[in-house]
Amino acid sequence: MFGVTRTFVPILVYHQVSPRPDPRFRRYTVTVRDFTRQMRWLAAFGYQAIDMDALVRARSGQGSLPKRPVLITFDDGFQGCADHALPVLRAHNFTAVFYLVAGLMGETSRWMLPEVGVELSLMSWETARVLIAEGFQCGAHTVTHPRLAGLDPARCRAELVDARRRLEGELGRPAVHLAYPFGSYDPGVQAIVAEAGYVTACSTRAGLSGADDDLLALHRVTIYGHDSLFDFACRLRTGTAMRERLGQAFGGVRRHFRQRRGSRP
Ligand SMILES: [Zn+2]
């Protein structure tokens, strides 16, 4: 029983880390102060950060997981994470995975403009090379950050194949890990992802990653800008925050009573 539960891995996903969050992107921006407290929490409770290769090795029986594994991932490759999250990660000797938008390196997150109304600076290839040299891992987040589900298959293939090629060319190592932009994928996308040679692909489905998690649709745990340290600790253990769990439970109770009311003559 305990052996099984121990194999669950929280794959945390961060977006932006900044001392001065832009209010328009506050939901996905963790302040440096909160990020520091969260990493300190992980260290205090004996969590050891692993990367995607270690997860794949463990899942295929070729390696073992530490007693308290955690996988720290950053989507989009924001410069803010290089500036502000990196020193904190280094201080705790935590590795992490950065999912980069290969066609926009050194530019801005222009895909955010229509929905969020703001674009943020993205790290350059030079910065990504520094990450690699320090033992961090870089994965692909496509070339232009489109929603892959429903995309023309030829364009979907190009987004996935070209992202790998660019990452490998610029960083000089295999790029076999992917995160779906907007968490968007379907079985057709997954088939193209496998064909393009990716070994893992992260979704944004909320939950801990168990031994039978689909390697091409891994569950993750999004850390939000409004999360308290208590929320963070709950997410780490269960994949969701307490108030979301309570919300679901109360929703169930409400539904139950509504149904009962509805079933009265
Ligand atoms: Zn993204």
Burial class (CB in 10 A: 0-12, 13-18, 19+), 88: middle
Q: Which residues surround ligand 1, an ion (CB under 5 A)?
A: 75-76, 181
Over residues 12-40, the pLDDT tens digits come to: 999 999 999 999 999 999 999 999 999 99
17-31, 105-119, 221-235, 241-255: segment of lowest average pLDDT: 241-255
Question: What is the rounded distance in angstroms from the CA atom of residue 257 to the CA atom of residue 19?
Answer: 45
Residues 177, 221, 52: CA angle, nearest 5 degrees: 25
Ligand 1 centroid vs 13 CA: distance in angstroms? 10
Over residues 131-159, the pLDDT tens digits come to: 999 999 999 999 999 999 999 999 999 99
| Type of residue at 137 | Q
Ligand 1 centroid vs 222 CA: distance in angstroms? 12
Ligand 1 centroid vs 3 CA: distance in angstroms? 34
Residue 249's pLDDT is what?
Answer: 67
Ligand 1 centroid vs 143 CA: distance in angstroms? 11
Ligand 1 centroid vs 91 CA: distance in angstroms? 26
Residue with tokens 């009265």: 264
The CA-based dihedral angle spanning residues 28, 32, 38, 43, taken in that order and rounded to the nearest 10 degrees: 140
Task: Check: CB of residue 7 under 8 Å from CB of residue 65.
Answer: yes
Average pLDDT over residues 44-51: 97
Average pLDDT over residues 221-242: 92
Rounded mean pLDDT of the chain?
A: 92
Write down the pTM of the prediction.
Answer: 0.91
Q: CA quadruple 58, 63, 68, 69: dihedral positive or negative?
A: negative
pLDDT over threshold 90, residue 244: no
Ligand 1 centroid vs 252 CA: distance in angstroms? 32
The CA-based dihedral angle spanning residues 89, 209, 232, 91, taken in that order and rounded to the nearest 10 degrees: -10
Per DSSP, 101 falls in state: -
Q: What is the token pair recorded at 6?
A: 């121990």
pLDDT over threshold 90, residue 239: no
| Type of residue at 264 | R
pLDDT over threshold 60, residue 199: yes
Average pLDDT over residues 66-86: 97
Ligand 1 centroid vs 136 CA: distance in angstroms? 18
Ligand 1 centroid vs 218 CA: distance in angstroms? 15
Ligand 1 centroid vs 16 CA: distance in angstroms? 10
